[in-house]
């Protein structure tokens, strides 16, 4: 049974004078949130045998902070298709993961990651985690999904959401401010 962990990039800076959205860096709160989320997933005992990520600056900086908190160097497969991708494109990327990858981390952007969770996890009454994702998938939040079969078997309504953690759940100073 594969495990997919989705990490949305941390809070980026809109005040940085970069010319392209792709080049936006993290702000101070985003850097702190990335480290915090890495520490939390290390504390929970997660491990990843495959990491795939958007090459956007805010994602590369998120991975750097996450790896610092997680205590391991990350060597992602950079995939430009993840940058601002739709849920359908993200599924295509995931279908291409190596068959022997048991636990993958995908680091990317919204609305694609949120849409992916909502597409893969059926809308059943009483699913509090899915309901939280539906309200908002904030920056640096992590969702973990599992399903029967392999990567090629990932399909609409076929997964279970087993974890949804937001930075504010771990540190109130990382709470919402309209992001």
Is 173 annotated in some ligand binding site? no
Please check whether residue 71 is in contact with residue 44, taking contact to mean a CB–CB distance below 8 angstroms: no
Q: How far is CA 9 from CA 42, 99, 132, 154, in A?
A: 18, 26, 18, 23
Is 95 annotated in some ligand binding site? no
Q: How far is CA 61 from CA 25, 121, 124, in A?
A: 7, 29, 36
Is 33 annotated in some ligand binding site? no
Is 27 annotated in some ligand binding site? no
Q: How far is CA 12 from CA 24, 155, 179, in A?
A: 6, 31, 9
Is 78 annotated in some ligand binding site? no
Q: Which helix (H) or strand (E) holds 36?
A: helix 28-43
Is 15 annotated in some ligand binding site? yes
Is 13 annotated in some ligand binding site? yes
Is 58 annotated in some ligand binding site? yes
- Of the candidates 113, 110, 131, the residue with the CA atom closest to the CA atom of residue 122: 131
Is 141 annotated in some ligand binding site? no
Known binding-site residue numbers: 8-15, 58
Known binding-site residue numbers for substrate: 8-15, 58
């Amino acid at each position: 049974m594969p495990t997919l962990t989705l990490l949305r990039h941390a809070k980026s800076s809109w005040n940085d004078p970069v010319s392209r959205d792709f080049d936006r860096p993290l702000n101070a709160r985003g850097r702190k949130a990335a480290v915090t989320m890495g520490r939390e997933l290390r504390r929970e005992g997660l491990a990843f045998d495959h990491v795939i990520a958007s090459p956007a600056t805010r994602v590369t900086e998120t991975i750097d902070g996450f790896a610092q908190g997680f205590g391991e160097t990350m060597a992602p497969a950079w995939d430009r298709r993840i940058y601002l991708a739709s849920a359908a494109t993200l599924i295509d990327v995931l279908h291409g993961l190596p068959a022997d990858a048991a636990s993958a981390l995908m680091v990317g952007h919204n609305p694609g990651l949120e849409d992916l969770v909502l597409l893969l996890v059926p809308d059943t009454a009483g699913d509090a985690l899915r309901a939280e994702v539906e309200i908002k998938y904030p920056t640096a939040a992590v969702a973990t999904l599992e399903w029967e079969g392999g990567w090629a078997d990932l399909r609409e309504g076929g997964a279970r959401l087993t974890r949804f953690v937001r930075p504010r759940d771990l540190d109130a100073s990382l709470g919402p401010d309209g992001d």
